[in-house]
Structures are given as C-alpha cells and as structure tokens.
Structure 1
Amino acid sequence: MQPSIDVIDGKDFRRMIAGAYGAFMREHEYINSLNVFPVPDGDTGTNMLLTLGAVAQAVSEAPDEGIGSLSRRAADSAIMGARGNSGVILSQLLRGIARGLSGKDQATSAEVGKAFQYGVLYAYRAVSRPVEGTILTVAKGIAKGTHRAVREHAAFADILTEAIGAGREELKRTPELLPALKAAGVVDAGGQGLIVFLSGCLEGLEGRFSGPEADFGRTLTVPGIVTEINISHPYCTEFIVKQFAAGLDEVKRQLEQMGDSLVLAPGESILKVHIHTAHPGAVLESAIAWGTLHDIKIDNMADQHRKIAETGPLNPVKAETALPPERSGLAVISVVSGDGLADIMRQMGAGIIVSGGQTMNPPVEEFMAAVHNGPAEKYIILPNNKNIVLAVAQAKKLLGDRVAVVPTVNVPQGLAALLAFDPNLDIEANVDRMTEAQATVKSGSLTIAVRDSQVDGQTVPEGAYIGVIEGSVAVWADSLTGALTALVERLAGPETGIVSLYYGAELTASEAEALASVLRERLNGVEVEVYSGGQPHYQCIISVE
C-alpha cells in the first residue's frame, strides 16, 4: 500500500451510508437465514436493515454538509431507530464513528479509519457479557485490520478493504467458537451483518450501488431456523430513556440482575436499552428513575417461537418502518376470562382483550405489551376485576397519558362502560361517560364455596353455592337454582327491566336456559337474556338493569 492523504467529506459519508443500506436491502434475507437463535427476535438481518434504514433516511434528508455533523445525525437516528440486539450494536458502531469525526467538516483517511476503530470499540462495550463467536469476535478482527491499514497510511478505500478481509477471517472462525453455529453449519449472523455494512460503505464510497432502490417501508421476507430450547427470559424488551441522568455502570449492574442479552446504547442524554427478561415491568419500573421512557417495545419471544414451531415461518412479513409505527385513534383494552365473554366484549367495541380474571390476574407487562404493540395512539383499560385494578394502575404510571383507566371491578361494569364508549370522542370525555355508566350497574356472581365460612352469623359449608355482590357473600344455598334466584331477588328492584345471565364453562346451554326459565317465573314481566360466557370458576355472572 502507498501512503495517501486523501480526504473524506460529507458527500462521501452520505454515499457510504446509502451504499450500506443498499447492501442490506440486498443481503438481509441471507443474514436472516444464518440466524440460529431459538426465536425470531426480529431477525438479525431485518433488525440491522431497519436500523440502518432510519440512518439512511435521516442522512439523506439532512441539510448538514460536514462529515462530523452528518455522522452525529447518523448516530442519533440509529439509537432512536435501533431494532433488536444487532441493531443496538450497529447504533453503537455509528456512535463511535461520530465521536471520532466530531467537529470535522472533512477528515483524512487516517482520521476516518480511527473513527471506525472507535466504532468497533463502542460496539463491543455495548454488550453486557461479550461472547466469543458472535458479532463481537468479527468486530475485533475488523478493528485489528483497520489499525494495520491506518498505521500504513493507506487510502480509506484500502482501509475498508483491509478491515473487511480481517473481519471475514474472524467470521470463518465463529462456528469453532460457538457450538450452535457449528451444529447448524453457519457463521454468525451479526458478524456477517458487519461485513455487509463495511462492504456497502466501500461500494458507496466508490460509487458502486448494486442494491435495490432505497425504500424505507418495504415488505420484508423473514425466514427463521427453529430449535428447541427452554426460554427463561421470554420477553424481548426495548426502550429509550431520554434526559438520561443516571450512571451507566449502575444501570448496567441493575439490569444484569434482571435478564440476559443486555445491550446498552448511550448517546447524548439518551440511552437505548435492549434486554431479554422474565419481568419487563420490573425493568421499566427501575428505568423510570433514569429519565423519561419512550418507544417501549415488548415482544413475547416464547409465543413467537411456539407459533413458528407449529406453523413454520410466516412469509412475507410486512415489517414496521425503522421509525416508530404510526398509531391513531382511541381503543379499549378489556380484561376478561372466557371465550364467550371475550367475543361479547369485542362485539361491543373492545379493541384488545387481555385474558384474566379471578385467580388469573395478568401482570403489568401484559398491559404494557398490549399498548405498545397495538394500533391505537391511546387506550382506555377496563380491569373488570378488583384484583387487577392495581396492576392496571401501575401500567398507567409507566405509560403516562397514553393510557386512562375506568376502574371496573366486574364484567357487567365493563360491559356497561363499553356501551358508553364513543371512539369519536377524546379520551377524557370517554372516561367520564364510561365511569358514569359502569357505576349504575347492579351485578353479582355465583360460585361454589371452597371452605366453610361465616355469613351473617350462619355457617356456609364448603361446597355450597354462594352468591357474591360487591366482593361479599350475599346469599347461599345447597342448589344452584336456589342460590341464583336468591341472588337475583337481592339485586332486582321495582324498576328492573332486564336480567342478563352469562353462564360459565361448567354449564351447558340447556342448563343455563333452564335456570333462565326459573327466573322468568319468579320475576314476572322481567326479560331474562342468556349468554354463553365460558368463564371458569363462576357458574353465572348476573347483570340487572
């Protein structure tokens, strides 16, 4: 190699980013095919493509001309648009490059080469527990190749060529370092992604654009390789902390105790977090103390893995754009247990059903996932059970003004609230309407006593049928019919016009209709409607209007 003093400017940097993005559009499916991680965590090639798509779009639209300001814009957009573990690592590569080019309008080949060395260092530091045989092994090889070429005063195109060659040598070694790669007969997908990134930069620098025309919202085919594994940290959790005011070492110490696959991508007063955890709610609760939370994304990888294992990969998949998905409108999240009740809730306007109820209380993270993966901009949550109200309140605390809560404590209240929901009104007006509507409902439920208890000075034996009103035992009887009629008579009044009976999983339609016939005889002139609820534990849920 001959000494060179060639200079790289902002236009060169734009071409390199455009070339890298074009290379990923061409190669991302191949990178995906190398992925042997047991669940489709976005897929490596797709994650890196979408992350780089955010960068390419920002750089192409930027008015900046200097290489320093453009590289800073690239790093910021990468952190905001980073997808998955590999996307976060790529964002840190760009952050390191931006540090090396900070304040420069143009840079010599040696300065750009050193900036790429910074990038590799930042990428390596982003991973909490580096594992050899992964993208980091390839990154180290690239750093060594870059260092050699810079020391020999090579032109920047030659520096990239040397870095790519050194990285490819390390990439070949990855199957020997990771048994899963060797068993599958592939090299590391993330490492291959780094090679594609550098190769694309070289193509762009030299004006050799061989990828498809830039399309920041294209349809992506996402293949996957399915292997069996016990997933102890099933929730892939990503979020951004703005106004970040905590120590990075302390954040790392806290999160390392909560899961694995931890990647931290810091920027200027900002932090991107990627972690696999069993308790995303606990992670987010800790993160509140570090700054303001944004762009929270929670995926249940165990569900993804199960679906792919049963049905195979779904192709093609319309991937989200690299920027946060557009959401609009207002929707209702309703908690309910039982297929029949879920169907009724949907028919009455619930946009999302979270499965839960008595003895089946969904955790905070289920509400977090529902909100962040749903299509609406804002949500009203109906807990429909007093034991779920606190979990919903915690979700509200984490999600802020994207969520409001109407504190319904039973299914009839939830149904009444849904009747009052109007998607054309704003969230505040709907909360007022729905809260007022649910407060007018009279309701009760029938179940079987699981132990002896005292009610109004009388012993209610285990196995008796009990009627519950507002969380307290109101009536009991030896027969279901006796308990039901006594409960409905407690609830009904002179103005009662309709009694709705939602029968549970333990009753058949004919048994429920027989109970309704008894009620019609006892409540002369009152209409009794019967619905299949399918709820467990409770033979009947009753609403009186």
Structure 2
Amino acid sequence: MQSSMDVINGRDFRRMIAGAYGAFMREHEYINSLNVFPVPDGDTGTNMLLTLGAVAKAVAEAPDEGIGSLARRGADSAIMGARGNSGVILSQLLRGIARGLSGKDTATAAEVGKAFQYGVLYAYRAVARPVEGTILTVAKGIAKGTHRAVRDRVAFADILTEAISAGQEELKRTPDLLPALKAAGVVDAGGQGLIVFLAGCLEGLEGRFSGPEADFGRTLTISGMTAEVTIAHPYCTEFVVKRFAASKAEVKRQLEQMGDSLVLAPGEGILKVHIHTAHPGAVLESAIAWGTLHDIKIDNMSDQHRQTLETAEEAQVRSGLAVISVVSGEGLANIMRQMGADIVITGGQTMNPPVEEFVAAIHNSSAETYIILPNNKNIVLAAAQAKKLLGDDRVAIVPTTNVPQGLAAVLAFDAQRDLADNLARMAEAQAAVKSASLTIAVRDSLVNGQKVPEGAYIGVIDGSVAVWADGLSAALTQVVKQLVEPDTGIVSLYYGAELDEAEAKVLAAGLAEQLDAVEIEVYFGGQPHYQFIISVE
C-alpha cells in the first residue's frame, strides 16, 4: 500500500538523524548497562551516542538539501567521529546508507530501504571475524526485515517498523547464541543500539521527538573523567645517569621517598629515571652521587593535565617511525611516554577516542610511519579505521588489548629497525604478557556458576571474570596466584585513581608475603574504575 511518505527528501533525512540522536541521548545509559560482565565500564551506548552526535551536528549544520549529499556528510562525520567498536560499526552502517542514496535529491521508500540494506552489509563487513549473538546477528535480522518490506512496496515508515520488529526478534535470540549473554541475563548491547537507532529514525520521520533537545555544544559527562585534580607530585622529572656506579636497589629506596610513578630503566652503564615529585631539585641533588646527569627534563604536569595529545614539540619522532599509544590515567600516560611512545592519546575503558583523534595526531606530527597500540579491545576497530583512511604506508597496528601488552610492545620497539622487524618484535612481546585487572562489581551476576554480589572485588583475566572476593587484598592475591608460574620473576601493580600510594604499598606488601622469590613493583597508573592493572613477567 502506497502513502504520502512514498518519497523521502533531505528534510526527512535530517529529522531521522535528529530523532536517532535524541533516542540515544535518552537510551545510551540503558545500553551501557547491558554489559556481559559486572565491570563499571560498559560504554557501548556512550560510544554510539558520541558517534551519532558527530553525524547529527554535521547534518543539522549542512547547507545541502539533497538526501544523497546529506547522507554523505553524515557518513563522513560518522567515520571521523567513530568511537569504540560499536561506533565504528554504526559509522559503516551510515556509510552504506550514503552509498545507496548517492547522487539523489530525493528517494523513494524502496530506494531508502535498499540503502539501509547496503548499510547493514557495510556494518557486517567492518568486523574481521563476525560472531553470532552480537550486533551483527541483529543487523542481519534488520536486513531481512527490510528486504521483505521493500519487496511488499510499503511506505518507508512501514519499512522501518518491519526492520525494527525483525531486529528485535534477533535481539531476543542473542543470549541463546552467546552463553556469556545468557549467564549475565542480558541481550547484546550493540544490537540494542541498532534497534534504538532505527526506532529514533522512525520517531524523527514521523515528528515524534521524545529525547532531550539536541545541544551540540554540551559536554557529555563520562564517569571517571574529572575537570580538575590536585597533583601531590606535580613535576614530571626525567634524566639519564651515565657512568652509573650505584645500586639500582639503593636508588629505588632513595627515590621512593621523594615521589611516585617511579620508573627505573637500566642499561649497560646507564640508568634512565622517571619520577613524579614535588622537589625535582632534591632528586637531582641525590642523583649526582650516582654518576653524570644528562637529558634532564622537568615538566609541570598541572599545566599539562588532561592534554589529549602531546604537543608537536614533545613528540620525539625517530627516524621516520613513531609509536602512538592509547591509555587512560596520568601515571600510565607518563610511563608509556617514558618507555618510548611518541604520542599518547587519552582513552580506554569508557573513554574510547574517536577515529578523528588518531588522524589528527598523525597529521600534526612529522613521522613517516606510525605504529598504533590501541591497548583496549574496544579501540582496535577505530585504529583500523584510521589506518584505512590514511593508508597502509602510513599506519600499522599492533592489536594490543590491554595496557600491559602495550607496555611490553613499546619496550620492544627499536627506532633503528625497520617497520616489519618492529611489528614482529612488538607482536612477540605482546603475546608473552600475562595480565589482569581488579575492579568492583556494579551488579549481581553469575560467573562460572557462582553468584558474584554487587560491590564485590572482581579479578578479570583475558576479558573474563576469574575471581571475586569481599576484600581487595584477597581478590588481588587470588588473581595474581592464577597468573604466576614457577619462573615468574616480577609482578607489576599499576594502582588506579581510587587508591593512594600508601594503600597500594600496603596491599603490595601483603601480596609479597604470599609469593616466594617474586619481586612486587608498584607504580601509579591513575586509571579510573580499576583499582589495579597487573602485569606478570
């Protein structure tokens, strides 16, 4: 049956995108809550909201009137603004829609329906290894529903309604396809996001706006981000000691009393030192007794707090090859720089950087080639999208999925070697790392047949909840014991923003009593949500 909604124009498209954005503003927190594990960093809804926000702003401000050119502007903005895996997949959905509408001022309901089918195809292709029970299962259901409705030659509002209905049926099946979803008692978050997108498009098309009014100048508040901090040790102090003639243990003993975020990197006859301190002069005065001092660098971190990228002056480009690393937390960012990352992008759990940030970092630096370390499984697709935009000759990726892997990879980097050699060395180093993290369960859940209560401390290994305990010390001991082996020499603990140095050291001392012949090292990470990130070597 035909209707007055037979032909869709640019104004209709604007309303659909505005409606979708409004729907995400209303629903993104619910989507975030559909997290498989009870960790406090579900961010699928936030990533899709921020991605769609870039689209809605571009479409609202565009002078274009044709549906094809508006769709193209929206797709381009989505690709550059895509955050996290879900945001990249959404950007590819919009890219496919733009392809289907290319060159059109208006489009029939059937043409727009087919464009949405293109979108689903592009979204599916964005994932290298599609897994059933995820957003892709819902996308396929939407494509089938759209195809049936287009074949029946109905109005576009009816096409959207059929697509939503078919997607919802597939969404209900996702727990049966992925045991982790069933155990958590949730449906797939990304799939729910697609349903919200289509429902918002339908609301906008029909003029039923029920989300908050769009405000593109507003700043989204994301848990774990604070505007101002007081830094107890504000001076980031770095230097090299040549003709090093002291004991590393003695140096460590002295410096631990002068600050935090201490990193000692010994070499043959040299020692590289990194420390955050309130008294850099006292540090240097002590260091004079250890050898000769070189490459002294002191930065006031209060002036640098929350910089998204290092400035061009700080980026140390090495022979045309540079490393870009993504981390969350002031301490981790500084350690990553100290270990050899040329550019550090702020991001991680709940704070996935957009594709545009990678592109801007590369455009604003002067290296010929860049190696990206995502350090989070939800940032890998955004890094891959940046690589696609900039070309294989400029960007390579070592797909690190956590910070310890990233640290191991950057330590294996050698600017004097070529790209292929570095990629092989960094991948090998990444694969050898054993890591875990500790956080607090945000809801009751079922893990390995056991009920984990809200508020318990949980240890996560390889993306799965491995242990839980009522106390942080007990959880820390349990998770580390799962990782250590007879030949383990060092356990590195990076403590988060919710702990102070004294608390971290007490917990480390308790852990040391449980482990024989294993050295425990404690560093300030400053990461939100996670009390500890743990590396075992």
TM-score interval for Structure 1 and Structure 2 normalised by the shorter chain: 0.3 to 0.5
TM-score (norm. length: structure 1):
0.46
TM-score (norm. length: structure 2):
0.47
